[in-house]
Amino acid sequence: MKKILAYLLVLVSLMTLFCGTAGAEETGAKEIYFTNSDANAYFATVTVTDLSNGRSKDERIYMGYWMVTATCKYEQTKNSIAPLAAWASSVVSGTYNAGGDTRRVGEPSESTRTFYEGLNRYMVEHYYTCSMVMNHASYASKYDSNTSFDKYSYGPKTSVYGGLINTKIQFLRKY
């Protein structure tokens, strides 16, 4: 009797292993993907000389950004579309005005949190964190007080700013 029970247990285990469990096709559920983005802006304190009057003052000037785009896999059921998992699908940067170049330092860290209402998933939050450095100008000049930031003459972009890329992107259940 024990041998028969052991045989049946092995048989059921092998059936599960080779036949699998009910998938999206068998339950009528579909997989759908959505994307969402979050960005960090970075500013530098730059000493700006007004050439019309010779005065200098410190100004906070936009130097660049890092933008993270996350993709979330959703599962469609009869009543809603629920988020399953999210990951960073794109990480891009750009520099403007006082900014020179930028780069990530070290490896990024990604994590997700899943929130439930009862037994149903209603939100997945995706977190992305990474250290970065951005070179920027520490001084600039402008023709007069009406000159816009993008028309300033910036000095060498050799000062280094170190910071974090830190984003949180939410994906909610859809009805």
pLDDT tens over the chain, length 175 residues: 555 544 444 444 444 434 333 344 445 557 799 999 999 999 999 999 999 999 999 999 999 999 999 999 999 877 889 999 999 999 999 998 999 899 999 999 999 999 999 888 999 999 999 999 999 999 999 999 899 888 999 999 999 999 999 999 999 999 8
Domain borders along the chain are 29-172
Query: Looking at residue 175, what is its pLDDT?
Result: 84
8 Å CB contact between 72 and 33: yes
In the chain, the DSSP E strands lie at 30-50, 56-76, 81-95, 99-117, 120-136, 139-142, 153-154, 159-172
pTM: 0.75
Q: How many residues does the chain have?
A: 175
Among candidate residues 72, 46, 76, the one with its CA nearest the CA of residue 59: 46
Please tell me whether residue 157 adopts helix, strand or coil conformation: coil
DSSP 8-state code for residue 174: B
